Amino acid sequence: MSTKDPIEIVDVAPRDGFQAVKAMIPTAAKIAVTSALMDANFRRLEVGAFVSPRAIPQMADTKQVHAALAAKRQARGMRFSTLIPNALGAKNAMAAGITDLVFVVSASQSHNQSNVKRSIAESLGELEKVVDLASGVDGFQLRVNIATVFDCPYEGRVPDAQVFALIEQITGHDVAVEIGLCDTTGRAFPDHVQELCGEAVARYASNPGVSWAFHGHDTYGLGVANALYAYDAGIRVFDAAAAGLGGCPFAPGASGNTASEDLVFTFENMGISSGVDLEILLDATKIIAGLDGIDGGGHVRNLPRQRVCG
Ligand code: COA
Ligand code: ZN
């Protein structure tokens, strides 16, 4: 039996994945993919976003996707989070009964401007409003995704000190927070991932209200390596997307998230449990690959099944 700490993979294909697809994916197809991912035994999925439909039209049916799967989700005791860029997003999500919220802010000014049309300070003001709105609300759970913590498409490598100054402000609220350290462009290198994640975990080790996740992209083929270095640094929660879908429309040159199946394959073969059923996940990736306009990534799903699951 393995003595290594298990990991939890949050599949973000139903958000980061779908938002990167230009052709509108029919709501029924989104529901079918999300449902297939539930069957693969993920404990958490990030499903859609309450953002401006003009900014990302693909996310406009988020409420319907959540509603269609609410009974199945509850029966399985799973978590469905959703992304919000501002207080209005939180209000709309909570009006739809969704209290598992992922607030996004970037570590670099220019990416924050391009993504949410606000300065970092303005975004932090929105976060404060979100916390005010949601604290005391039953089931409220907060993730703050910090985009571009390693590399910004406009500014290059982001200084660690800038990231920690932002983390300091985010953790200043009287609410438990999971911080997603996001390699938005996929241009982080493993040594940098290990350094920054290790420092983050160490700095807040005595604060039970702060926990961590690593959100990687595989643009340069470093997604799995970066996740392994993040694990080595103490991170146990990983965002990834089935079929390697994904990418921020406001980060030029960035491609898909690290493929969930590649992470499951690697970690499980290293004796680190993810709880995910790889065979069923591979079936789900086939549904995704069959959608119009899909250009996914990853490796494992393209290999003969018996060589992967044997
Ligand atoms: N959900 C739905 N509509 C929203 C919204 C939200 N969370 N936030 C703002 N809007 C609407 C406003 O109601 C307003 O509508 P109106 O023109 O009909 O009155 C309109 O959007 C403009 O509002 P404003 O606050 O001026 O927004 P903006 O144009 O400055 O855009 C964001 C800011 C954050 C809303 C927009 O950039 C956005 O949604 N970005 C999403 C980024 C994203 O998801 N990136 C990928 C994930 S990292
Ligand atoms: Zn991403």
Atom of ligand 1 nearest to the CA of 248: 46
248 CA distance to ligand 2 centroid (A)?
6
- Following CA atoms 142, 280, 224, 255 in sequence, which dihedral angle do they give, to the nearest 10 degrees? -70
126 CA distance to ligand 1 centroid (A)?
12
Q: Cα–Cα distance between 178 and 215 in angstroms, integer? A: 12
> Between vectors from CA 128 to CA 123 and to CA 174, what angle results, nearest 5°?
135
Coil, strand or helix at 297 = coil
25-65 pLDDT tens trace: 999 999 999 999 999 999 999 999 999 999 999 999 999 99
Residue closest by Cα to atom 40 of ligand 1:
116
Atom of ligand 1 nearest to the CA of 145: 48
Residue of 152, 197, 248, 309 marked active site: 248
- In which element (H, E) is residue 124 found? helix 120-134
- The CATH classification number of 8-309 equals 3.20.20.70
pTM over cut 0.85: yes
Quick one: how far is CA 200 from the chain centroid?
18
Query: Residue 3's pLDDT is what?
Result: 84
Coil, strand or helix at 40 = coil
Residue at token pair 């390693």: 150
200 CA distance to ligand 2 centroid (A)?
19
128 CA distance to ligand 1 centroid (A)?
17
Residues touching ligand 1 (Cβ under 6 Å) are 19, 49-52, 55-56, 83, 85-86, 88-89, 92, 104, 115-117, 147, 248, 250
Atom of ligand 1 nearest to the CA of 147: 48
78-110 pLDDT tens trace: 999 999 999 999 999 999 999 999 999 999 999
- pLDDT-flagged residues of the chain (< 70): 1-2
Which ligand minimizes its atom distance to the CA of 106? 1
Helical pair 120-134 and 109-116, crossing angle rounded to 10 deg: 60
Which of 15, 50, 52, 101 to mutate to test ligand 1, by most ligand atoms within 8 A of the CB atom? 52
Is 248 part of the annotated catalytic residue set? Answer: yes
Query: Residue 252's pLDDT is what?
Result: 87
Which of 22, 46, 47, 51 to mutate to test ligand 1, by most ligand atoms within 8 A of the CB atom? 51
310 CA distance to ligand 2 centroid (A)?
31
Query: Residue 2's pLDDT is what?
Result: 57
